[in-house]
Amino acid sequence: MSTSEPEVPAPAPAPVPAPAPVPVPTITLTELLEVHAVVVAKETADKALLEPLTKLVASHDLLRPLLVQWATGGFSTTTSIQSYAVTAPGTCADGVKRALCEYIEYLLGTTMGDLMTQLRALAPEVVFSYAFPGDACIALFAARGPAPAPTPAPEVQVTEVPVVPSA
């Protein structure tokens, strides 16, 4: 006969305390105004950053040096002549979510297509384009385009007028 010691029950696990209630965060008007102010400040800074782009389309004197630099490089194919580092906020100050191109057009108050048309009017033998390399930049490109068609000479119209002898 073996002697065994009586089994002692294991102590009961200590009760796990209930998690403390997590306070529900509140949204205050002050917080909303601060967030809106940050977005407005960002938009103002981005608009100032893009201002040279709008000035390019209005000034031969600002565009010319960029094109001279491109020409010095031998008119290489599709060359970046200017770039602007800008990112779109998650939501704009007007409450609309915009992709980078839409954000830039929102800030400029015009479309990129219209800007390219205006640049082409200043330099008709240059093809302008733009791209968004990455998600935080817009780049303006120049490439050689076809020479503009010669302007035809105006047609000369000849009208015969009978001469009546005077008496």
Q: What is the pLDDT of residues 103-161, one digit of tens each?
A: 999 999 999 999 999 999 999 999 999 998 877 889 999 998 876 566 666 665 655 65
SS3 36: helix
pLDDT at position 148, please?
59
Element (H, E) at 137: strand 137-144
Q: Cα separation of 100 and 85, whole Å?
A: 11
pLDDT at position 48, please?
95
Reference 86, options 105, 71, 62, 73; nearest CA is 105
Q: Parse the chain into domains and list their residue ranges.
A: 30-144
pTM greater than 0.95: no
User: What are the strands of the beta sheet with 79-85, ordered from one edge?
Assistant: 79-85, 137-144, 126-131
pLDDT digits (tens, 9 = 90+) for 66-97: 999 999 888 888 899 999 999 999 899 999 99
Q: What is the DSSP string of 48-104?
A: HHHHHHHHHTT-HHHHHHHHHHHHHTT--SSEEEEEEE----SS-TTS----HHHHH
Q: Cα separation of 89 and 96, whole Å?
A: 10
Which position has the higher pLDDT, 29 or 120? 120
User: What mean pLDDT is predicted for residues 49-53?
Assistant: 92
Q: Cα separation of 44 and 32, whole Å?
A: 18
Residue 41 pLDDT level (bands cut at 50, 70, 90): very high
User: What mean pLDDT is predicted for residues 44-57?
Assistant: 92
pLDDT at position 44, please?
96
